[in-house]
Structure 1
C-alpha cells in the first residue's frame, strides 16, 4: 500500500509533539548548548550577527541560539524567535527574561509562512529546524523575503545518517519496528538536507549569493548510553512522531533495542554519540 505524505497532517502532528516535548527539551537545555554550541557560534559568525543587528530565528524551539544571538546584538539590536509550538516559545521567553534580555520577542509562526515585514532583518537563522519543514524551498524563499539587501541567512542541519549514528540508529530501529517506509525524496526528516551540496544548491536556487558551508563535528557526550536514551525519549519529537502508530508495549520494546544499540558508543570516558552537522550560509 502506498502512503501519501500529507504535509498538513504532518505539521499538525509536529506541533502537537513539540507541545508535549517542550518542557523536556527546555530541561535538557544545558546539554543541548554544550552539544550544539560550536555550530551555533559559527552560524552567528557566518551571518554577521553583531551589536545592533535585527535577527529572525526560525523554528527557534526553546531558544538557546536565540539567547546567544540576543547577547551579541545587545540592547540596540532585536531578536524575534518564531516557532510552530507556543509551548516551546514560552520557555524561550522565560529564559530570555531570566537572563535580563529585553531585546527578545517571541511569536508563533509557521516556518513556511513567515508573516513578518519584508526586508526587515539583518540575519535569519535556523538551528535544526529547516530539516523538518515540508516545503524547504518555500521556507527559504520566505527567509529571503524577510532579509534586507545584503542580509545573511544561516542554518544548521545534520549531515548524513551514516555520520549521525546517535540519531540514525533510533530512527532505523523505529522505522523497522513500525513498518514505516523510507522517506521519499523531498520529504522532511533529520537527514533530508545532509547530502553533500544539497543545502548549498537550495540556497543558490533561492537567490542567495556567496553561499558557503562548513562541516562541524558535534559528538553528543553523556555519562552513559542510557542517559542518551533518556534525552531522546523525553525530548525528540521526531522519534515520538514515528512511534505514534505502535502499541505501548511495542514502543517500550523499541526503546529497549535502541538502548542496546547505543551501548556500542560507550567507552571508558562515557558515551560519545557520533554526530556531524553542516552549517550553511548565504547573502541576499
Structure 2
C-alpha cells in the first residue's frame, strides 16, 4: 500500500506542477470563485493577531495570504506539494505587500514541523487529493497546539456542482474512461455527509461542525468557462488528451449546449456547493 500511496503522491505533485501556469493565468477568476469557502474557514478559525497558522495545500496562496493580512504579530506557513504553485503564492504575496508568510514544499502526510507548533490550520480543497486522508488529519493534529483549531473545505455532491459536471459528465458520456481505483483522489471523494467529520473524529479532534457554503463561478461566457476548465482541470485535460480531434469537437459542442441550456441568457454564473468542516484539538 505504501508504494501505491507514494505513486499517487508523485502523480499529484507532477500534475499540480504541470498545471501551475494555468492556475496563474486564471488566478483572479478561481480565487474569486473559491473566496466564500476561504472566508468561512477564516471565520471559523477565529484568529488572534499573534497566531501562528499553517495553510495546507495552499496552491497559489489562499486562504493563507488573506489570513496573513489579518495577523498583526503572527505569521502563516503556506505549504503545498508543488513548488511551482508556491512560487505563484510568493509572487502574489509580494504583489500584495504581505511579508509575514513563509512557503514550504512538503507532503501533508509528513509535515516537517515539531508537535504542537500551530495555533490554527486551514486547508481549502486539499483533502480529496491526499493519498491517505486519515494520516493527513493525524499529521495536522500532531502539529496543532492543544486547543488549536482546524478548518477545511471539500466539494459537496456532484448534483450541486454543475461547474464540474457540465464538462466531466459530457466527457464520461462520450468516452469510456477507466474507473479510478477505489479511494483514488477525485473531486467528490469527500462529498458524503459527515465523511470528513468522521476522519476528524478519528484523528482526535472535538467540537466538530460541518457547514454548507455556496459559491458562484462567474465565468461570464461559455468560452471563458471552457478555456479555464481545460487549462486548470487535470482530470479534464487527461481525459481530452485521449480523445481524437473529432471527439474533442463533439464534447466541446455538447458542453456548450449543456451550459447554454442552463443559462439561455448567456450570463454564465455557475453555482457551486462545498462543505466546510471545523474541529478543535
What is the TM-score with the length of structure 1 in the denominator? 0.90
Which of 37, 50, 53 is equivalent to 2:51?
Answer: 53
1:206 aligns with 2:203: yes
Contact 1:58 1:82 (8 Å CA) reproduced: yes
The 8 Å contact of residues 193 and 199 in structure 1, kept in 2 or not, is answered as yes
CA spacing shift, 1:7–1:180, aligned 2, 3 Å: farther
**Paired residues of 1:265 and 1:272 also in contact (CA < 8 A):** no
Partner of 1:93: 90
Residue number in structure 2 paired with 1:68: 66
Q: Deviations over 1:127-158 (max 9, x none)?
A: 11111112111111111111000111110110
Q: Quote the Cα distance in structure 1 between the aligned partners of 2:130 and 2:271.
A: 24
- Seen in structure 2, the aligned counterparts of structure 1 residues 264 and 133 have a Cα distance that, compared at 3 Å, is farther
- Give the number of equivalent residue pairs: 279
Given that 1:17 and 1:241 are in contact with CA atoms closer than 8 Å, whether structure 2 keeps it comes out as: no
Query: What's 2:135 paired with?
Result: 138
- Structure 2 residue matching 1:56: 3-state secondary structure: strand
Local SS of the residue matching 1:41: helix
Q: Distance in 2 between matches of 1:255 and 1:109?
A: 36
1:21 to 16, 19, 22: 19
Offset at 1:14?
2.2
Alpha-carbon distance, 1:264 to partner? 2.6
Once the 2 structures are TM-superposed, how far is the Cα of residue 181 of structure 1 from its aligned partner?
Answer: 4.0
Q: Matched residue of 1:219: which SS?
A: strand
For residue 7 of structure 1, the aligned residue among 1, 5, 8 is 5
CA distance in 2: counterparts of 1:252 and 1:107, whole angstroms: 41
Instruction: Supply the distance in 2 between the matched residues of 1:69 and 1:247 (Cα, whole angstroms).
Output: 45
Report the secondary structure of 1:61's partner residue: coil
* Structure 2 gaps, min length 5: none
Secondary structure in structure 1 of the residue aligned to 2:269? strand
How far apart in 1 are the matches of 2:79 and 2:180? 26
User: 2:167 aligns to what?
Assistant: 170
Length-normalised TM-score, structure 2: 0.91
**Is 1:240 the counterpart of 2:237 in the alignment?**
yes
Distance 1:66 1:80 in 2: 8
Question: CA distance change for structure 1 residues 21 and 201 in 2, over 3 Å: closer, same or farther?
Answer: same
2:262 to 245, 262, 265: 265
